Chain A
Amino acid sequence: MKHEHAKAATQNACKLCNPLGACLAFRGIENCVPFLHGSQGCATYIRRYLISHYKEPIDIASSNFNEETAVFGGSHNLKIGLKNVSDQYKPEVIGVATTCLSETIGDDVPGILREYKKEFKNGSPMPLIIHASTPSYQGSHIDGFHAAVHATVKALAVKGPKQTLINLFPNMVSPADLRHLKEIFTDFAAPVMVLPDYSQTMDGGPWGEYHRIPPGGTPASAIASAASASASIEFGSTIEASKSAAEYLDVMFGIPAYRMPLPIGIKGSDKFFSLLETLTGTKRAEKYEDERRRLVDAYADGHKYVFEKKVIIYGEEDLVIAMTAFLREIGMVPVLCASGGKSGMLKKRIAELVPDMDELGINVRDGVDFVDIEEESKILQPDFLIGNSKGFTMSKKNNIPLLRLGFPIHDRFGGQRMHHLGYRGTLELFDRIVNTVIEQRQNASSIGYTYM
């Protein structure tokens, strides 16, 4: 690769910090308050960042470190904080995620939580407390997301009599995607435990009165059943086995884990629907055959617009991997597949789905920032960029159009309602991609074509 010199500083980061992902995941549990063990700023910044995408109130509590806490340990603050959150929010679950601060001073959070439960056991009803270790100096937001999901399953899932139930660990997808996934399971008449499920908490209706915790999310009791399910499906192919909730359930409770990339594109979605057919012994509903047929038809109608168009795709590694496979099945060339994440698996996973990636000139870079991507773009000359809003700075500067997807979408409306998954999500993506090309052509022509 061309510009692979090691930069010391990160410029315009293409990632966020670990605790953000954990807070989002905890919002997908019913009656749960995310709680950051660290400075007040972490909670506030993360709230602000999430609100700008989801447009929903997002309360994240903080243990609010001060100098004394940093010197003598966070035990006192954490306990007071948990007590206050319990009193004010009356949650069923509190999801505690650590930060760089509490991790660096070496707080023994599990020990503090044990003490807390002992000290306050006769007080108000004791919420279930989950602890995820999410130091900001490790990995990125997606690691915090998986850490919270893993910690939740570990804390709540208990062995029980086998049930007809599928666990779905959908990865960091949009509320619209989550609703769509649940609809698919309903149509298969297959009971499902989705974790996390923030489809309502992060994209809900109006309130008549203030809700301390917004309605929605997967109940703790349902998560408890995860250990007696018949199978787990986990989207994502860069989650280390030791951090995978599906893997944990497989090892501890013998629940078969089916791990696959995010179902984007026809092949990706086929794989998902076939898996559901196998697991449920039921054929997919006719409406999904219809959706697939419409998608195949759309591919035919739009193929010429997109063929051999060059794009740069960036975002979380699992999103980039699945998108790359999809872009290839419509004849586009993702000249750069980039991520701020660094699992070490990005290139390998893309190669598994796109074996001819080298001949096609597909470059893969992990651990990059937007200045790295910008430098690459000068050489690769893409037709447009595909990724979250944060690529807009380089998009504007270099006059390269940006097609927005994933998280965060801070400069457009409705990011939380965007579909990415299944035939339906793929069709939505395909429409938007084709329209990006058409718009580009229309704008570039002085004739003013009214049929494109």
Chain B
Amino acid sequence: MEQIGILEGRERQVLEKNSGVAQADIACDTSSLSGSVSQRACVFCGSRVVLYPVADAIHLVHGPIGCAAYTWDIRGAVSSGPELHRLSFSTDLQEMDVIYGGEKKLYHSLIELIEQYKPKAAFIYSTCIVGLIGDDIDAVCKKVAKETGIPVLPVHSEGFKGTKKDGYKAACLALMKLIGTGSTDGISKYSINILGEFNLAGEAWIIRQYYEKMGIEVVSTLTGDGRIDAVRRAHGASLNVVQCSGSMTWLAKEMEEKYGIPYIRVSYFGIEDMSKSLYDVALHFPDRPEIMEAAKQIVSEEVKTLYPSLQKFKKALQGKKAAIYVGGAFKTFSLIKALRSIGMSVVLAGSQTGNKDDYARLKEMCDEGTVIVDDSNPVELSKFILEKEADLLIGGVKERPIAFKLGVAFCDHNHERKIPLAGFIGMYNFALEVYQSVMSPVWQFAPRKGGSL
């Protein structure tokens, strides 16, 4: 087979764990190398994914049509009520707008959409081009807010101004403008906000139910099944529980500083982390021991039904090898544990946006010889999948065809998933999906398993 090298300028973003020698930290938090076919998106994408699930707001993309078209109904984030988030709105800038400015078009679009859809708020995303033609979107937003009486929030997400992480921050900035504007009357002392949970396939509902069973009030979920009014009173909660740490840690820190609300980091994937996320919240309310009691009760009941149901999968999957390449590093930690609990080992782990601490922890968790990558690309991923003889790849839409082409099973852990993978039931779904893909007889025809080309 042809030797595939690592691109010059990327060598430090790839590492094979070897405890026998001193290894430098993996390089990360850098912008992607030009021409390297990164799996990352852009600043706009970061903002768009974070705010996407807010269902009673309109999301207007200010720019040419592509950015809005490619994000139309893109996430599996479901709503229990309004579904404005599933529509795609764009100012669809044309050449003349680029020359003469798009402010007028933005203004008229906003007035028209607000009248037509009667949203609780509007988010206006600026795209690359808006950053260049110098539209003053803040001024337009202010004007429209005044005229319509709803919050109209600019999101400064020009694609080229940083990485996806900067987009997360731009989204959080918009949320911060809403938080603190609602009444906190009647909010219990035993209350939390769930941050960085996007209600993909109804996952936020599963999590919320556990907490409510424990006697905890969930003030708002940011942003899964999101509602503007709930966001506005989020500052009334006693604790912020942050799942997708990459996108929401900044917001949690801001809220801590401004409103004195502490935060904890959790993960809802896998039995171990899911249980811990209930216990950690309970630990925050020591004056009410029945909360911890309830948490233990939930875990014990759920595990009692879940554990036996996993054994069939574990037996089949014992010794199989997995590769993980996802957006955020925190998720990889949970996935490694979850895979181990069904008998699988991890031979490749990486993320698009992990930071130094994430990678240090990742390295610590991984087995000897595991390859760790930051901001990888299809060529590298394929090289390591084949070299390490992975049986499974966990990733998103862009990674899926790489796996299938090479005759490797695949589990979609991206925001388009339609099956909940969070919570205890999510662990069952995850194991089932992995099992269904890894154990499929179709791989016998794949060239790497001896099938003909």
Binding site for B on A (CB under 8 A): 7-13, 15-20, 35, 38-49, 51-52, 55-67, 69-70, 77-78, 80-85, 87-89, 99-101, 104-105, 135-138, 140, 205-210, 212, 390, 393
Query: What is the 8 Å Cβ interface bit string for chain B, positions 284-298, against chain A (1 contact, 0 not)?
Result: 000000000000000
Specify which of A10, A17, A40, A70 is in contact with B42 (CB 8 Å cutoff).
Answer: A40
B160→A13 contact, CB < 8 A:
no
A137→B93 contact, CB < 8 A:
yes
A39→B160 contact, CB < 8 A:
yes
Q: Kindly list chain B residues whose C-beta atoms are within 8 Å of the C-beta of A208.
A: 447-448, 453
B88→A13 contact, CB < 8 A:
yes
Binding site for A on B (CB under 8 A): 1-2, 4, 7-9, 31-45, 60, 63-73, 86-95, 97-98, 105, 108-109, 111-113, 127-129, 131-133, 159-162, 377-379, 382-383, 386, 397-398, 400-402, 404-407, 445-448, 451, 453
A84→B109 contact, CB < 8 A:
no
Instruction: Output the residue of A12, A17, A41, A101 with the most chain B CB within 10 A.
Output: A41
Q: Kindly list chain A residues whose C-beta atoms are within 8 Å of the C-beta of B88.
A: 11-13
B68→A13 contact, CB < 8 A:
yes
Q: List 20 A-B contacts (CB under 8 A).
A: A8-B111, A9-B60, A11-B113, A16-B70, A20-B66, A40-B41, A40-B42, A45-B45, A51-B398, A59-B37, A59-B377, A59-B378, A66-B31, A66-B160, A69-B160, A70-B131, A70-B160, A80-B34, A206-B447, A210-B378
**Known: A12-B88, A38-B128. Contact between A62 and B38, CB under 8 A?**
yes
| Nearest opposing residue in chain A for B451, CB measure | A206
Q: Kindly list chain A residues whose C-beta atoms are within 8 Å of the C-beta of B8.
A: 84, 87
Q: Kindly list chain B residues whose C-beta atoms are within 8 Å of the C-beta of A45.
A: 41, 45, 66-67, 70-71
Instruction: Output the residue of A80, A140, A210, A393 with the most chain B CB within 10 A.
Output: A210
Instruction: Output the residue of A12, A35, A69, A136 with the most chain B CB within 10 A.
Output: A136
Q: What is the minimal beta-carbon distance from A130 to any residue of chain B, in angstroms?
A: 16
**Known: A136-B65, A137-B93, A137-B129. Contact between A62 and B34, CB under 8 A?**
yes
Q: Kindly list chain A residues whose C-beta atoms are within 8 Å of the C-beta of B132.
A: 70, 101, 104-105
Q: What is the minimal beta-carbon distance from B418 to any residue of chain A, in angstroms?
A: 11
A63→B129 contact, CB < 8 A:
no
B405→A57 contact, CB < 8 A:
yes
Specify which of A66, A84, A205 is in contact with B453 (CB 8 Å cutoff).
Answer: A205
What are the 8 closest A-B residue pairs judged by CB atoms, nearest first?
A41-B42, A17-B66, A81-B35, A84-B35, A210-B382, A208-B447, A9-B109, A81-B34
B131→A207 contact, CB < 8 A:
no
| Nearest opposing residue in chain B for A340, CB measure | B65
Specify which of B43, B68, B105, B406 is in contact with A207 (CB 8 Å cutoff).
Answer: B406
B89→A41 contact, CB < 8 A:
no
A60→B42 contact, CB < 8 A:
no
A13→B90 contact, CB < 8 A:
yes
Q: Kindly list chain B residues whose C-beta atoms are within 8 Å of the C-beta of A46.
A: 66, 70
Q: Kindly list chain A residues whose C-beta atoms are within 8 Å of the C-beta of B38.
A: 40, 44, 62, 64
Q: What is the minimal beta-carbon distance from B63 to any residue of chain A, in angstroms?
A: 7
B35→A63 contact, CB < 8 A:
yes
Q: What is the minimal beta-carbon distance from A373 to any residue of chain B, in angstroms?
A: 14
| Nearest opposing residue in chain B for A99, CB measure | B128
| Nearest opposing residue in chain B for A11, CB measure | B89
Q: Kindly list chain B residues whose C-beta atoms are within 8 Å of the C-beta of A101.
A: 128-129, 132, 159-160
| Nearest opposing residue in chain B for A54, CB measure | B401
| Nearest opposing residue in chain B for A390, CB measure | B72
B407→A8 contact, CB < 8 A:
no
Give A401 to B159 CA distance when docked, in angstroms. 37
Specify which of B35, B63, B159, B397 is in contact with A48 (CB 8 Å cutoff).
Answer: B397
Q: What is the minimal beta-carbon distance from A85 to any residue of chain B, in angstroms?
A: 4
B128→A100 contact, CB < 8 A:
yes
Q: Kindly list chain B residues whose C-beta atoms are within 8 Å of the C-beta of A52.
A: 397
Specify which of A7, A10, A44, A140 is in contact with B398 (CB 8 Å cutoff).
Answer: A44
B404→A55 contact, CB < 8 A:
yes
Specify which of A18, A55, A205, A210 is in contact with B386 (CB 8 Å cutoff).
Answer: A210
Q: Kindly list chain A residues whose C-beta atoms are within 8 Å of the C-beta of B69.
A: 13, 15-17
B64→A100 contact, CB < 8 A:
yes
Specify which of A63, A69, A210 is in contact with B4 (CB 8 Å cutoff).
Answer: A210
Give A392 to B63 CA distance when docked, in angstroms. 25
Give A7 to B386 CA distance when docked, in angstroms. 52
Q: Kindly list chain A residues whose C-beta atoms are within 8 Å of the C-beta of B108.
A: 8-9
Q: What is the minimal beta-carbon distance from A82 to any residue of chain B, in angstroms?
A: 6
A138→B34 contact, CB < 8 A:
no
Q: Kindly list chain B residues whose C-beta atoms are within 8 Å of the C-beta of A41.
A: 41-45, 67, 159
A66→B128 contact, CB < 8 A:
no
A10→B447 contact, CB < 8 A:
no
Give A65 to B35 CA distance when docked, in angstroms. 11
Give A82 to B38 CA distance when docked, in angstroms. 14
Specify which of B35, B92, B160 is in contact with A9 (CB 8 Å cutoff).
Answer: B92
Q: Kindly list chain A residues whose C-beta atoms are within 8 Å of the C-beta of B87.
A: 11-12, 393
B66→A82 contact, CB < 8 A:
no
Q: What is the minimal beta-carbon distance from A128 to any residue of chain B, in angstroms?
A: 16
Specify which of A35, A39, A70, A137 is in contact with B35 (CB 8 Å cutoff).
Answer: A35
Give A38 to B94 CA distance when docked, in angstroms. 18
| Nearest opposing residue in chain A for B2, CB measure | A209
Give A241 to B61 CA distance when docked, in angstroms. 33
| Nearest opposing residue in chain B for A65, CB measure | B160
Q: What is the minimal beta-carbon distance from B103 to any residue of chain A, in angstroms?
A: 12
Give A67 to B159 CA distance when docked, in angstroms. 10
A210→B383 contact, CB < 8 A:
yes
